[in-house]
Structure 1
Amino acid sequence: MRFETSREVPAAEGAVKVKKDDNNNYKVNLKIIRLSPSERLSPPKNTYVVWMDTDLNGTINIGNLGTSKGLFSKKLKSSLETVTPYQPVRFFITAENDKRVEYPGNQIVLRTRYYN
């Protein structure tokens, strides 16, 4: 699944791969390039939080997104890998002041389309 183009972070591009494992869990592998630091947004925020809409369990915070520069590249690279027992149907990223928020704020910077 690819993230849709965003007005908030227009240079950012990314995708999410989801694979069901032998234990009936879902392995999530998210990668994004050129995601500007959250403190450069308007209004500035402290972190990016990745959310997963699930088939039966609502919306879940699956972690915060760190950004780093490659050793030989100036591209900003962000990634998140996790495993969940819940079937994902969509992912989105919000800019937040606290990475432990329980509900997404209204500053959505990237999102995927729904899928089954």
Structure 2
Amino acid sequence: MKTIKHITLSLVIAIALNACTPKMAFTSSSVVPAASGTINVKKDKNENYTLKVNVHNLAESKNLTPSKGSYLVWMKQNDRSVKKLGQLNPSGKTLTASLSATAVAKPQEVFITAEDNAEILYPAGQTVLTTEK
């Protein structure tokens, strides 16, 4: 009987932890086929969402065809509005890039675009990676 209680408790804890820290993965890209990455989402003590984006094998934006100035990370919210989270700058042998951001709303989709200008307020360039299926 004690074993069943321990198993049940372990399952409840695992489900609770999984609900608090969802992990999203980017789908493969035809623009940058070798690129891959994940997004970890957590709710903080202020009821905001913290997002940690990690991407690997993301070719430098200047090497795309046509050449672009930067990669920007965006999220879609429940109301279908889009919020810019920040810029990615791949570096090193594995062309790794990461970004930490905070959002008031829970992300429904996270995507990365290749843009000419990092200062834009809305996505205009080609989507490179997305969590949308």
* Same fold, judged at TM 0.5 (above): yes
Task: Give unpaired runs (5+ residues) of structure 2.
Answer: 1-23
CA-to-aligned-CA distance 1:76-107 (integer Å, 9 cap, x gap): 11100011112210001100011111111141
Quick one: distance in 1 between partners of 2:126 and 2:132? Answer: 17
**Residue 89 of structure 1 pairs with residue 112 of structure 2:** no
TM-score normalised to structure 1 length: 0.90
**Residue 62 of structure 1 pairs with residue 81 of structure 2:** no
Residue from 19, 40, 43 that aligns with 2:42 = 19
The one-letter code of the counterpart of 2:31 is: E
Larger Rg: 2
The one-letter code of the counterpart of 2:86 is: G
CA contact (8 A) 1:49 1:64 kept: yes
CA-to-aligned-CA distance 1:28-87 (integer Å, 9 cap, x gap): 000000000001111100000101001136001111111111xxxx21111000111122
Quick one: distance in 2 between partners of 1:38 and 1:58? Answer: 25
**Residue 76 of structure 1 pairs with residue 99 of structure 2:** no
**Residue 104 of structure 1 pairs with residue 123 of structure 2:** yes
Quick one: distance in 2 between partners of 1:58 and 1:47? Answer: 22
CA contact (8 A) 1:57 1:86 kept: no
Quick one: distance in 2 between partners of 1:105 and 1:92? Answer: 12
Deviation at 1:4, TM superposition (A): 0.3
CA contact (8 A) 1:92 1:111 kept: yes
| 1:68 alignment partner, SS class | coil
RMSD of aligned C-alpha atoms? Answer: 1.2
Q: Which has the higher contact order (CA 8 A, sep 6+)?
A: 1
Quick one: distance in 2 between partners of 1:36 and 1:66? Answer: 10
